[in-house]
Amino acid sequence: MQYLLMIAMDEQAYAALPAEVAAENMAAYGRFWAEMEERGVIRGGERLYPTTDATCVQVRDGRVITADGPFAETKEQLGGYYLVDVADLDEAIDVASKIPGAAHGTIEVRPIWSM
Amino acid sequence: MSGPDPAGRVDDAVAAAYRDEWGRVVATLIRVTGDWDLAEECAQDAFARAVERWPRDGVPRNPGAWLTTTARNAAIDRLRRDRTGRRKLEELAGIEEREMTASTSGADAHGDEQRASGIVDDRLRLVFTCCHPALALDAQVALTLREMVGLTTGEVARAFLVSEPTIAQRLVRAKRKIRNAGIPYRVPPRAQLADRLGAVLSVVYLLFNEGYGASVGDDLVRGAMCDEAIRLCRTIAELLPDEPEVLGLLALMLLHDSRRATRVDAHGDVVLLDEQDRARWDHDAIDDGLTTLDRALARRRPGPYQVQAAIAACHARAPVADATDWPQIAALYGELLRMSPSPVVELNRAVAVAMADGPGVGLALLEPLAASGVLAGYYLLPAARADLLRRAGRRHEAAAAYEEALRLVGTEPERRFLTRRLAEVTG
């Protein structure tokens, strides 16, 4: 099954990290990527620009409604994602728990709706 | 077949089979069909068939096997009838073929899943799936009661004073999430077993406490909830004989439940442990609880349920309240605090220490707890303080603490109890 692992975190706090902490974080993500590529579960993943650069799109009554900002106002924002292909939810949770951001943010695990 | 029976005895046999076999039939059908709704419907079909057939043909020697076969045939019939079912039916045949080859060749495809018995009981898969942490706790509870225990949605709704449509909706959502999110139908691998077993046991204990403590529901339903929790825990203990915490929880529930009849008096008022009529405790349940606890402790892997059961055992072993081994209880609470620290355990430990070493020592432990404010709003903290102050002869302070407890208390019997004590210290 494929799952989208969404990394929700406090992006302002993250942007304010000292350079050496930010660099160590990047390195941790690099190690996570290498480990999961080795395991053969990674189908994709990117870091995202912050929600200040986000646009929400909705279609209502046939009209496209475009709005500035993220989809929800919460303390944490979507900071990146991985697309993984694993056996079941237990393995998806296992992979999600290894994402460095799981330690301070939240990883939302969403099953991919296979068409 | 044991030959035709008088109708009454057959009814009893069906009721007993329902109680003993429902979870097993549903669990197996889920594994075979992968479809929770179909499994439930076919289990119901099988029991309806039993009601029809058993009075005529007699009760089968192995009711569980009869019911499972009947339910499986019902599933095949239903799947044949619709087109999308055909594909499922082929999968089903495939699964059975694989099972056959696995069992004949002794191949161990799921090494981790296979326990000492060689074959994993489907009920274990079912209970671990019902109590999967990706499901909300109230969904875990409802699923366990419906699928594993076999309560109807109406019975689950009455047990929790929630409307039947709410429970039905909760079950539909939970089953949808299991399907869409890919929650596996299996016993977790050994590395995760302790964690996941913890989730299962907390659901079992929640069921028990819902019946035992609880603020809602009528007495009959509540008593039945305690019985179901104990029965469920017994089943899990049979299926996972090497897990001492399962036995610990079973012992804990048996020992608590042995006092069920004496906890409330004829007026519905609370009767505290030291005032209960110990002759009316259920001594068979106590023996069962103590033996079960010994079996758990013999494994030498202590855990919080075993420690709590050991505390309950100290009370159960005391023929009169004055003979209670309070130093031992205080030591056990210390151990519990080390394993699973919580302010409520700290409070209980302070009370036990007060019983062992005098109210002054207990009060010295309570003061920092009260000052920290972590239990603010919890009426048992001022109630415990009041009791220790009363026993220390500090009546004015005791009265103030009883008044504080009265401002926070929720249920009427507890309110009456505190009012009575307040009158004692002010009178």
Residue A98 has pLDDT above 50, yes or no: yes
Residue B115 has pLDDT above 50, yes or no: no
What confidence score (pLDDT) does residue B219 get? 63
User: B98 and B11 in one domain?
Assistant: yes
A19: domain CATH number is 3.30.70.1060
Out of B240, B266, B296, pick the residue that ends a domain. B240
Answer yes or no: is A55 within a domain. Answer: no
In 3-state terms, what secondary structure has residue B58? Answer: strand
Answer yes or no: is A28 within a domain. Answer: yes
Most distant pair of Cα atoms in chain B: their distance? 80
Number of structural domains in chain B? 3
Mean pLDDT of B387-393: 94
Out of B78, B106, B134, pick the residue that ends a domain. B106
Rounded distance between C-alpha atoms, residue A45 and residue A5, angstroms: 9
Residue A70 has pLDDT above 90, yes or no: no
> B116: exposed, middle or buried (C-beta count within 10 Å: 0-12, 13-18, 19+)?
exposed
B27: domain CATH number is 1.10.1740
Please tell me the number of Cα atoms within 13 Å of A20 on its side-chain side: 0
Which residue of A lies nearest to B187 if distances are taken between CA atoms?
A: A90
pTM (2 decimals)? 0.83
Answer yes or no: is B354 within a domain. Answer: no
User: Cβ distance B270 to B263 under 8 Å?
Assistant: yes
User: Which residues is A4 bridged to in the sheet?
Assistant: A83, A110
User: B254 and B181 in one domain?
Assistant: no
Answer yes or no: is A66 within a domain. Answer: no
Q: What's chain A's average pLDDT? A: 87
Radius of gyration, alpha carbons of chain B: 25
Contact A87 B188 (CB under 8 A): no
Q: Which of A77-91, B85-99, B275-289 has the lowest mean pLDDT?
A: B85-99
Answer yes or no: is A59 within a domain. Answer: no
Judge if ipTM > 0.95: no
**How large is the angle between the packed helices B7-33 and B122-130, nearest 10 degrees?**
70
In 3-state terms, what secondary structure has residue B36? Answer: helix
> B336: exposed, middle or buried (C-beta count within 10 Å: 0-12, 13-18, 19+)?
buried
What confidence score (pLDDT) does residue B102 get? 43
pLDDT, tens digit (0-9, with 9 covering 90-100), for B323-356: 999 999 999 999 999 999 999 999 999 999 999 9
What confidence score (pLDDT) does residue B302 get? 96
Answer yes or no: is A57 within a domain. Answer: no
What domain range is A11 assigned to?
2-47+76-111
User: B233 and B139 in one domain?
Assistant: yes
Answer yes or no: is A65 within a domain. Answer: no
Contact residues for B92 (Cβ-Cβ < 8 A; gap 6+): B32, B33, B75, B76, B79
- Which residues in chain B are contacts of A3 at CB distance < 8 A? 182
Answer yes or no: is A34 within a domain. Answer: yes
Rounded distance between C-alpha atoms, residue B411 and residue B419, angstroms: 12
Higher pLDDT among residues B85 and B378, named by residue:
B378
Contact residues for B203 (Cβ-Cβ < 8 A; gap 6+): B130, B131, B137, B140, B141, B144
Chain A nearest CA to B178, separation (Å): 9
Answer yes or no: is B332 within a domain. Answer: no
User: Cβ distance A109 to A39 under 8 Å?
Assistant: no
Among B110, B129, B183, B193, the strongest candidate for a mutation testing the A interface, having the largest count of A CBs within 10 A, is B183
Number of structural domains in chain A? 1
Answer yes or no: is B401 within a domain. Answer: no
Answer yes or no: is B138 within a domain. Answer: yes
Rounded distance between C-alpha atoms, residue B9 and residue A112, angstroms: 52
Contact B182 A92 (CB under 8 A): yes
Answer yes or no: is B211 within a domain. Answer: yes
A1 inside 8 A of chain B by CB: yes
User: B208 and B275 in one domain?
Assistant: no
Q: What's chain B's average pLDDT? A: 88
What domain range is B309 assigned to?
250-321
What DSSP element (H or E) covers A115? Answer: none
A 77-106: CB under 8 A from B = 87-90, 92-93
pLDDT band of B114, cuts 50, 70, 90: very low
Chain A nearest CA to B376, separation (Å): 27
Out of B321, B337, B353, pick the residue that ends a domain. B321
Among A1, A5, A89, the strongest candidate for a mutation testing the B interface, having the largest count of B CBs within 10 A, is A89
Contact A1 B182 (CB under 8 A): yes
User: B9 and B37 in one domain?
Assistant: yes
Amino acid letter for position B119: I
Answer yes or no: is A58 within a domain. Answer: no
pLDDT above 90: percentage of residues in chain B? 68
